[in-house]
Amino acid sequence: MLSKRMEDALNRQINEELYSAYLYQAMSAWAEAENYKGAAKWMAAQAKEEVEHAAKFYNFILERGGKVKLLAIKQPPSEWKSLLEIFEAAYEHEKHITKCINDLYELATRERDYSTQVFLHWFIEEQVEEEAQTLEIAELLRRAGDSTNAILMIDAKLGARE
């Protein structure tokens, strides 16, 4: 059985994950409108993954006999100046999510909630990848600078994501 505190914190994480999906979908829409088709596809795939993350928390709460509470999702931004700005913002956001997961783990440890700790291991590993990939793309874009050719090559590479 989940404690009320743990249940509330896990419900807040569903909201964080759904906000991530919303944010990345907004970034995808911006990229599509700017004709960065590869980045649009990459961000849409990322948004889909975030919905899956939310579903993992949702199912876990129910499995543990808890109550799922869906909270209001805040509005994400809709304007960015460049592809670089988008991936820098995505990296910053992933660092924030890592902190959320770490805080959840800390709470589960304090509460001696071992099943939540084990459940969170997947997310702890996932965050290493989530931060690394957004940082890598941001760094490539930083190196590309104002070169349209280089940016379009990165965009094409992003479009190869399944």
Binding site for ligand OFO (CB under 6 A): 17, 20, 50, 53, 94, 97, 130
**Separation between Cα atoms, residue 60 and residue 69, nearest integer Å:** 13
* C-beta closer to ligand OFO: residue 94 or 155: 94
Residue number closest to ligand OFO, CB atom? 20
> Based on CB atoms, which residue is closest to ligand OFO, 113 or 130?
130
Q: How near is the Cβ of 148 to ligand OFO at its closest, in Å?
A: 29
Amino acid at 115: S
> Quick one: 7 or 94, whose CB is closer to ligand OFO?
94
- Rounded least distance, CB 97 to ligand OFO, Å: 4
Whether 23 and 76 have beta carbons less than 8 Å apart is answered as yes
If the CB atoms of residues 51 and 140 are measured against ligand OFO, the closer one turns out to be 51
The C-alpha angle 102, 105, 108, rounded to 5 degrees, equals 155
At closest approach, how far in Å is the CB of 130 from ligand OFO?
A: 4
Query: Which of 106/156 has CB closer to ligand OFO?
Result: 106
Compute the least distance from the CB of residue 151 to ligand OFO, in Å.
23
Shortest reach from residue 20's CB to ligand OFO, in Å:
4
Residues with Cβ < 8 Å from 31, sequence gap 6 or more?
A: 37, 39, 40, 43, 83, 86
Give me the DSSP letters along 70-126: PPPPPPPP---S-HHHHHHHHHHHHHHHHHHHHHHHHHHHHTT-HHHHHHHHHHHHH
Report the alpha-carbon distance of residue 42 to residue 45 in Å, rounded.
5
